[in-house]
Amino acid sequence: MQQIEAKAPESAGAKLVALILRVALAVAIPLIAFWVLYQGFLFLRDSDAPKAVIVLVAIIWGVGGVAALYWIFNWLVEQLPGDWTARLQPFVFVGPAMAILIWYLTLPVYRTFWLSLFDRDGFPVGFSVFKPWTWITGIQSPSFVGFANYTNLFTERLLQEALRNNLMWIVFGSTLSVVTGLLVATLADRSKSERVSKTLIFLPMAISFVGAGVIWNFMYEVKPPGEAQIGVFNAIVVALGGSPHPWDKWVAIAPWNNLFLILIVIWLQTGFSMVLFSAALKGIPQELMEAGRVDGASELRIFFNIMLPYIRPTVITVWTTIVIFTLKIFDVVWVMTGGQFGTHVIATQFYRQSFTARNSGIGSAIAIVLLLTVVPVLAYNLRQLREGQEGF
């Protein structure tokens, strides 16, 4: 847009009109889309056509309707004089996405932050975060506790445990996913069975976290001594003469039993990091490695002194992406242990506080803390991605 504006300097009036039209586009398109979709929903809900037909119509109605909407608005904008087309056209496409993002993401975050300042009773009657004139009554109400939820959060044992566990998830989960992914990518790159091995390692990526949890529950399954062990881990341990353990539910070794949960995510994420590293490694010019070889570097040296620095942006991107995954980790813990045996993480605590204990105040505080932890990592991640794209 800057380029276009630089080409045609516009008056303040034109700028204002452009702004209004842009906002109007951003709001009108999703509104019409939602209305059309809702009408379609009502129509289909009340029809007694066969289910297959309803599904087909729904797909055509949904996808086709939205596509048609974009097409019509794009066409309308293209009918405008040239410079107005240039001013408005991007907003036909970007605007609705931004508007929906604000509605679905930004506003809830804002509301969640307000909620975190109140105790379990939440907002008093008549208070609205979107009506500044009600803020005074809100702050004066007995349920307003300021930042007390946050101080509690860092002092309560269960929450401290969650923070500690999340730290373990970050340190071991993301680091080991990166290391194993890098290792597999490097070795597969030189192997004849590259495709097969990469496919096998990539396969777990297709399994949901919950599905993986179910699978690994069987892997860690424990039966009383003497009975046949159906869990892979215990079967091996017992066959080797050891005694069975509950692994992820093994309180005696807490907090290290968390590692057995982390292992699941490493299993899931190695494929992801492997694929990205594999692509990055293949992007290293062959001559660079040859130069290293002629210069006298061993293969290990070439890996650490030439290849690794070359793919550093990818390493950081992958690492931070997995850090974000592990910061938000929920499903695996919830399915495997439900947060018991010292395995709570921030997200499971958030769920427990918000929906089990029905304390929306502390739940929201946890959510905000989680968000604040993720944002810097995310920002760094995006910056690296951009730099990586610019390349050398």
Partner 1 sequence: MASVTYKNVYKRFGDVTVITDLNMEIADKEFVVFVGPSGCGKSTSLRMLAGLEEISEGDIMIGDRVVNDVPPKDRDIAMVFQSYALYPHMSVYDNMAFGLKLRKTPKAEIDRRVKEAADILGLGNLLDRKPKALSGGQRQRVAVGRAIVREPAVFLMDEPLSNLDAKLRVSARAEITKLHKRLGTTFIYVTHDQVEAMTMGDRIAVLADGILQQIDSPRTLYKRPNNIFVAGFIGSPSMNFFNATIVQEEGKMIVDTGDFRVEIPAEKQATFKDVVGKEVVFGMRPENIHVPQYAPPGIVAAPFDVTIEVVELLGHELNIFATSGKNSLVATVDTRLEANVGNKIGLVMDMGQMHIFDKNTEMAIR
- When the beta carbons of 81 and 391 are compared against partner 1, the nearer one is 391
Q: Give the three-state DSSP class for 144.
A: strand
* Closer of 6 and 300 to partner 1 (Cβ): 300
Q: Closest separation between CB of residue 308 and partner 1, Å?
A: 9
Smallest distance from the beta carbon of 3 to partner 1, in angstroms? 25
- Min dist. Cβ of residue 355 to partner 1 (A): 48
Q: Is 56 strand, coil or helix? A: helix
Q: Are 381 and 317 in contact (CB under 8 A)?
A: yes
Give, in degrees to the nearest 5, the angle at Cα 247 between 252 and 330: 100
How near is the Cβ of 287 to partner 1 at its closest, in Å? 4
The smaller minimum CB distance to partner 1, of residues 144 and 310, is found at 310
Strand partners, 144: 118
- Nearest CA among 56, 77, 76, 64 for reference residue 33: 64
Distance CA 322, CA 78 (A): 42
Question: For residues 227 and 290, which CB has a smaller minimum distance to partner 1 in the complex?
Answer: 290
CB of 300 to partner 1, least distance (A): 11
The half-sphere exposure of 4 on its side-chain side, counting CA atoms within 13 A, is 11
Given the complex with partner 1, which of 35 and 304 has the nearer CB atom? 304
Residue type for 36, please? V
Q: With b meaning 16 or more CB within 10 Å and e meaning fewer, what string describes 127-147?
A: bebeeeebeeebeebeebbee
State the Cα torsion 118-119-124-129 to the nearest 10°.
20
- Residue among 159 and 306 whose Cβ is closer to partner 1: 306
Least distance to partner 1 from the beta carbon of 292, Å?
8
When the beta carbons of 111 and 312 are compared against partner 1, the nearer one is 312
Query: In the complex, what is the shortest distance from the CB of residue 188 to partner 1, in angstroms, rounded to a whole number?
Result: 22
Task: Specify whether the CB–CB gap between 327 and 346 falls below 8 A.
Answer: yes
Maximal CA-CA distance, the chain: 86
Q: Residues in the site for partner 1, rule: CB under 8 A?
A: 285, 287-288, 290-297, 301, 305-306, 309-310, 312, 392
Closest CA to 190 of 109, 278, 85: 278
Query: From the CB of 37, what's the least distance to partner 1, in Å?
Result: 49
List for the chain the helix, strand, coil content (%; round to 5).
75, 0, 20
Of 148 and 284, nearer to partner 1 (C-beta) is 284
Do the Cβ atoms of 14 and 81 come closer than 8 Å? no
